Structure 1
Amino acid sequence: MAAFSPALPLAVGLSGGADSTALLLACAQKWPGQVQAIHVHHGLQAAADDFEQHCRALCRRLQVPLTVQRIDARHASGESPEDAARRARYKAFEAVALASNAQNAIHSIALAQHADDQVETLLLALSRGAGVAGLAAMPADWERGGVRWHRPLLRVAGVQVRDWLRAQGQDWVEDPTNTDERFTRNRIRAQLLPALDAAFPAFRDTFARSASHAAQAAELLDELAQQDLALTGSPPEIRLLQGLSRARQANVLRHWLRVAHATTPSAAQLGELLDQLAACTTRGHRIHIKVGRGFVVRSGPRLDWYNPEVLV
């Protein structure tokens, strides 16, 4: 936190849990009158009203303005409940930032994920066989929608956050779902982190370095993909794709599908697509491969992607 120097005014995402309570308290102490809080009421559990009341009481005591955003964070069939809630939460934060007036415009938003959360994210990515973009885990700083986002606690262990709060005499609320081991992240927290702490006491720092290396590699791959997409076109021309190595084909196709069509192929889908590209040596060769909710197809000399649900 000592090196954290955001553009002010600053908004803090406040759930009422230990981590966000500590972040808001520290920021309010450091920048009095320049900090506000945003609480997202998910409506997913009975305790949600208690979280809101705790946040209101805390912000009154700290004399920090509070905005409460009520959202519908229910997930669609086949969608991860955690992913759905996270996306809805970010949309709510962005809505508050966009609605802030020029006199009190929000320039930065701080979120309270800490070092243990980063390790959990990295282990989840490993368990799913993620590439370097997934292994980069959570960035400490980034920009989106004209707002700078920060995670100033990413190098701070969860136990340190709680110890600091106790020293401040500050209470917090506990989310009952955090101990539900039906969720993979909670199993990692309850079972793997204590074992890692016993075997490799410095694992938070070393895992953070690995995530940082992966983030640099992902950035380089993204730069290469942009160059290759400029070369092959968007949608990409098959003949020009075939002039690239298989690894560069995979990289540029992932980039094209993500940027142009907001979809990500599985490893199996991408492998099949690369095989079909290699075999595509005649005008009559057909390509029609399921990717995400749509299909990558051959359209004359180029590849294309379409979603049949949108076409109906």
Structure 2
Amino acid sequence: MTTVTPDPVSAAIAAFEPTFPLAVACSGGADSTALLAACSSRWPGQVRAVHVHHGLQEAADDFVARCEQTCRNLQVPLTVLKVDARHAPGESPENAARTARYRALDAYAQGTGAAAGTDEGAAPVRSIALAHHADDQVETMLLALSRGAGLAGLACMPARWERDGVEFHRPLLEVSGAAVRGFALAFGLGWAEDPSNDDERYTRNRIRARLMPALETTFPHFRETFVRSALHAAQAQSVLDEVAAADLEAVGAPPRLKDLQALSVGRQAQVLRRWLRTIHDTTPDTAQLAELQRQLAACRTRGHQLRLKVGRGFVVREGDALGWYNPAVLPPAT
């Protein structure tokens, strides 16, 4: 008896357990088209598609047309969300587009506002699937390494996370890009090619064009090992997050100087990051955090003041504790 081994995409979708209704974020490219086809084939009638129209390229309307054709062929309802993804001065165009895209998907999932695009009478979306694959994860890790990222950065993209009751999934994160395109070709799926993918002014494209082939030659199994390393980093970071959460509860929010000073340097750094990120929605860079810890160590007398630029605002001493403020929003406590 011959055993038929499923292709990697079908195997990944067989292991995928979303909550329904499920929406697939579809760009019109090969990866998201393959994901949409695989999901709609497995769960007919329970899948819808959502396309974010960035309006940044001349080909943007072609992407919409391709999504519309694909969804007609697959008999999947499509929602198109138009966003303003223009970047501010000094902001990365890629980051601006990514931020706009996720905001639109969040609004769509929550069904908030006319721009959210929720079909009238349709059940709210419970899960959104994204088509990032193993090659995308490797590129993300290489970018993180090039920037000197810590564990949080090396954890790269999570396979699943939840926000405001909506699940986000990346079911193809362990599947190679070649396998995803192979699936699309095997099933005769058409897709649109993004011309910006060949523009080597973007760092990610240079990684794809220059480093990925070299890794393929030198380390043939690099996708599996890099993805595994990202998983290990994510697991280690989750432990650090648990410790930091317990430490922040112990030192208080705002954190008390004496209790902070009693922590080891590493735990102190983690709890300061967590306090700034979770309470004040800001993140210190490496130099800012090191200087904050240096000044914190020296802050032993009542008369020793502290005021340091951190993230989008300032960390200051407020009596026996630390405070943070953004001068554009709120003056420091007196």
TM-score by length of 1: 0.98
Change (3 A) 1:182 1:116: same
Matching residue of 1:204: 223
1:92-111 equivalent positions in 2, closer than 5 A: 92-99=104-111, 100=118, 104-111=123-130
The one of 24, 29, 36 aligned to 2:48: 36
Deviation readout 1:258-300 (Å, 9 max, x if unpaired): 1011111111100000000110111111111111121111111
State the Cα deviation string for residues 66-105 of structure 1 (Å, max 9, x = none). Answer: 0000000111222221111111111111211111478522
* 2:57 paired with 1:45: yes
1:140 partnered with 2:159: yes
- 2:238 is aligned, of 207, 212, 219, to 219
Aligned residues: 312
Query: Could you tell me which residue of structure 2 aligns to residue 308 of structure 1?
Result: 327
- Choose from 64, 74, 77 the match for 2:86: 74
Deviations 1:18-57 (A, max 9, x none): 1000000111111110000000000111110110011111
Q: Give yes or no for the alignment of 1:116 onto 2:128.
A: no
- Select 1:126's aligned residue among 131, 145, 164: 145
Which residue of structure 1 lines up, in the alignment, with residue 258 of structure 2? Answer: 239
Find the counterpart in structure 2 of residue 12 from structure 1: 24
| CA–CA separation in structure 1 for the residues paired with 2:193 and 2:77 | 23
**Is the partner of 2:132 in helix, strand or coil?**
coil
1:275 to 266, 281, 294: 294
Q: What is the distance in 2 between the residues matched to 1:98 and 1:142?
A: 15
Q: Determine what percentage of the aligned residue pairs are the same residue.
A: 65
Unmatched tracts of structure 1, length 5 or more = none
Cα offset, 1:152, TM superposition? 0.6
| 1:311 CA drift (Å) | 3.1
Partners of 1:5 and 1:245 lie apart in 2 by 41
1:8 corresponds to which letter in structure 2? Answer: F
Name the aligned partner's letter for residue 207 of structure 1: F
> How far apart, CA to CA, are the structure 2 residues paired with 1:194 and 1:21?
24
CA RMSD of aligned residues (A): 1.1
Q: Which amino acid aligns with 1:271?
A: A
Partner of 1:27: 39
| 1:62, distance to aligned residue in structure 2 (A) | 1.1
Which secondary structure state, in structure 2, belongs to the residue aligned with residue 303 of structure 1? strand
Contact 2:254 2:323 in 1 (8 A): yes
1:306 maps to amino acid = Y
Distance 2:57 2:162 in 1: 31
Letter in structure 1 aligned against 2:257: I
SS in 2 for 1:85: helix
- Paired letter, 2:38: A
Note the alpha carbon deviations across 1:169-219, whole angstroms, 9 max, x for none. 111101111111111111110000000000000001111111011001110
